Amino acid sequence: MKPFSGIRSSAVVLVSCVLLAACGTGEKPDTNAPTFTKAAEEHVPIAVSVSIAQMKFHPEKVSVHRGDTIVFTNNDVVDHDATALPDSSWTSGPLHPGDSWKLVADSTSEYFCSIHVVMRGEVIVE
Protein backbone atom coordinates (compact mmCIF):
# COMPACT_ATOMS: atom_id res chain seq x y z
CA MET A 1 0.00 0.00 0.00
CA LYS A 2 2.98 2.25 -0.01
CA PRO A 3 2.54 3.32 -3.67
CA PHE A 4 -0.90 4.84 -2.94
CA SER A 5 0.28 6.91 0.01
CA GLY A 6 2.30 9.17 -2.32
CA ILE A 7 -0.68 9.66 -4.59
CA ARG A 8 -2.88 10.38 -1.61
CA SER A 9 -0.59 13.12 -0.26
CA SER A 10 -0.26 14.60 -3.76
CA ALA A 11 -4.05 14.70 -4.02
CA VAL A 12 -4.32 16.43 -0.63
CA VAL A 13 -1.77 19.05 -1.71
CA LEU A 14 -3.54 19.55 -5.04
CA VAL A 15 -6.98 19.97 -3.40
CA SER A 16 -5.48 22.40 -0.88
CA CYS A 17 -3.99 24.51 -3.68
CA VAL A 18 -7.29 24.58 -5.56
CA LEU A 19 -9.17 25.64 -2.42
CA LEU A 20 -6.67 28.41 -1.66
CA ALA A 21 -6.87 29.69 -5.22
CA ALA A 22 -10.66 29.75 -5.05
CA CYS A 23 -10.62 31.85 -1.88
CA GLY A 24 -8.89 34.72 -3.64
CA THR A 25 -5.99 36.82 -2.57
CA GLY A 26 -7.84 39.55 -0.67
CA GLU A 27 -6.46 42.25 -2.95
CA LYS A 28 -7.80 45.78 -2.63
CA PRO A 29 -9.96 47.05 -5.51
CA ASP A 30 -8.20 48.94 -8.27
CA THR A 31 -8.64 52.62 -7.36
CA ASN A 32 -7.54 53.65 -10.85
CA ALA A 33 -10.41 51.78 -12.50
CA PRO A 34 -13.07 54.08 -13.98
CA THR A 35 -16.23 54.47 -11.97
CA PHE A 36 -19.60 54.95 -13.53
CA THR A 37 -22.42 56.90 -11.99
CA LYS A 38 -25.88 57.43 -13.40
CA ALA A 39 -26.15 60.89 -14.84
CA ALA A 40 -29.02 63.02 -13.65
CA GLU A 41 -31.84 62.78 -16.10
CA GLU A 42 -32.30 66.07 -17.89
CA HIS A 43 -35.75 67.19 -18.86
CA VAL A 44 -36.20 67.73 -22.56
CA PRO A 45 -38.50 70.74 -22.97
CA ILE A 46 -41.88 70.02 -24.54
CA ALA A 47 -44.74 72.10 -25.90
CA VAL A 48 -48.13 71.96 -24.20
CA SER A 49 -51.27 73.31 -25.88
CA VAL A 50 -53.96 75.44 -24.24
CA SER A 51 -57.01 76.03 -26.40
CA ILE A 52 -59.17 79.09 -25.88
CA ALA A 53 -62.74 78.19 -26.84
CA GLN A 54 -66.29 78.82 -25.64
CA MET A 55 -65.02 81.52 -23.27
CA LYS A 56 -62.71 79.10 -21.39
CA PHE A 57 -59.09 77.96 -21.31
CA HIS A 58 -58.83 74.22 -22.06
CA PRO A 59 -57.33 72.81 -19.90
CA GLU A 60 -57.77 75.41 -17.16
CA LYS A 61 -54.77 74.04 -15.23
CA VAL A 62 -51.64 72.82 -16.94
CA SER A 63 -48.61 71.27 -15.20
CA VAL A 64 -45.25 71.70 -16.91
CA HIS A 65 -41.53 71.74 -16.14
CA ARG A 66 -39.45 74.91 -16.14
CA GLY A 67 -38.46 75.60 -19.74
CA ASP A 68 -41.49 73.93 -21.33
CA THR A 69 -43.46 75.99 -23.83
CA ILE A 70 -47.17 76.61 -23.46
CA VAL A 71 -48.92 77.41 -26.73
CA PHE A 72 -52.14 79.39 -26.30
CA THR A 73 -54.40 79.15 -29.38
CA ASN A 74 -57.58 81.16 -29.78
CA ASN A 75 -60.14 78.74 -31.18
CA ASP A 76 -63.05 81.01 -30.29
CA VAL A 77 -64.99 83.48 -32.46
CA VAL A 78 -63.90 86.58 -30.48
CA ASP A 79 -60.58 88.06 -29.34
CA HIS A 80 -58.98 86.83 -26.09
CA ASP A 81 -55.65 87.12 -24.32
CA ALA A 82 -53.72 85.32 -21.58
CA THR A 83 -52.33 87.61 -18.87
CA ALA A 84 -50.50 86.71 -15.64
CA LEU A 85 -52.16 87.39 -12.31
CA PRO A 86 -51.82 89.47 -10.23
CA ASP A 87 -49.18 91.66 -11.83
CA SER A 88 -49.46 91.13 -15.62
CA SER A 89 -45.80 90.03 -15.64
CA TRP A 90 -46.54 88.37 -18.98
CA THR A 91 -49.32 88.79 -21.49
CA SER A 92 -50.09 87.50 -24.92
CA GLY A 93 -51.77 90.68 -26.03
CA PRO A 94 -54.99 90.32 -28.03
CA LEU A 95 -55.27 87.01 -29.85
CA HIS A 96 -57.65 87.13 -32.79
CA PRO A 97 -59.53 83.95 -33.74
CA GLY A 98 -56.95 81.47 -35.08
CA ASP A 99 -53.94 83.27 -33.50
CA SER A 100 -51.43 81.52 -31.22
CA TRP A 101 -48.92 82.77 -28.68
CA LYS A 102 -46.08 80.93 -26.89
CA LEU A 103 -44.98 81.25 -23.28
CA VAL A 104 -41.82 79.58 -21.97
CA ALA A 105 -42.75 78.58 -18.42
CA ASP A 106 -40.42 79.68 -15.65
CA SER A 107 -42.71 79.88 -12.61
CA THR A 108 -46.15 78.92 -11.39
CA SER A 109 -48.80 81.56 -11.96
CA GLU A 110 -52.47 82.07 -12.36
CA TYR A 111 -53.67 83.89 -15.45
CA PHE A 112 -56.85 85.29 -16.94
CA CYS A 113 -58.25 86.89 -20.07
CA SER A 114 -58.12 90.61 -19.45
CA ILE A 115 -60.81 91.10 -22.10
CA HIS A 116 -63.19 88.63 -20.38
CA VAL A 117 -62.14 88.66 -16.72
CA VAL A 118 -64.21 85.60 -15.76
CA MET A 119 -61.89 83.41 -17.84
CA ARG A 120 -59.11 82.02 -15.63
CA GLY A 121 -56.39 79.39 -15.75
CA GLU A 122 -53.22 78.30 -14.00
CA VAL A 123 -49.73 77.27 -15.06
CA ILE A 124 -48.08 74.98 -12.50
CA VAL A 125 -44.31 74.67 -12.89
CA GLU A 126 -42.93 71.53 -11.23
CATH architecture of 47-125: Sandwich (2.60)
Q: Given a cut of 80, is residue 111 above it in pLDDT? A: yes
Nearest Cα to Cα of residue 119 among 38, 45, 49, 55? 55
Tell which wins on pLDDT, 30 or 107: 107
The answer to whether residue 6 scores a pLDDT higher than 70 is no
DSSP percent split of the chain into helix, strand, coil, nearest 5: 15, 35, 50
Computed over every residue of the chain, the mean pLDDT equals 86
- Using DSSP's 3-state secondary structure scheme, residue 18 falls into helix
Predicted model pTM: 0.69
